Amino acid sequence: MSILTQSGRAAIAASIKEQSLHLAWGSGDSSWESNHKVEKVFVKGEIKLDHCPIKDVKVFKGSTVYKPSIDYTVDSNTGMIKLVEKGSITVESTVT
């Protein structure tokens, strides 16, 4: 264990004082961590989600779970899901 001298403690305090401190106060938005299940149809190979940005998307139909990058791509900023040309989802498919 080390013992700091008065000047050492003062140097640490001065260093901490120079740092920025950012605080956030509030309860946030409850939908940020919520799960939404929607049934949509691929129109011209695309689905536009009703909200964005989005964190994660899982596309499935019945018990079939489709794979991102293989069957579809997602633009999380715009909420747009697009079919991959040689993926296993057909155009005009209804998915959840």
SS3 assignment, position 23: coil
pLDDT in tens, 30-89: 666 667 788 888 888 888 988 888 888 888 888 999 999 999 999 989 989 999 999 888
pLDDT in tens, 34-43: 677 888 888 8
The answer to pTM > 0.85 is: no
Q: What is the CA radius of gyration of the chain?
A: 24
pLDDT, residue 34, reads 66
pLDDT, residue 82, reads 92
* pLDDT for 1 beyond 70: no
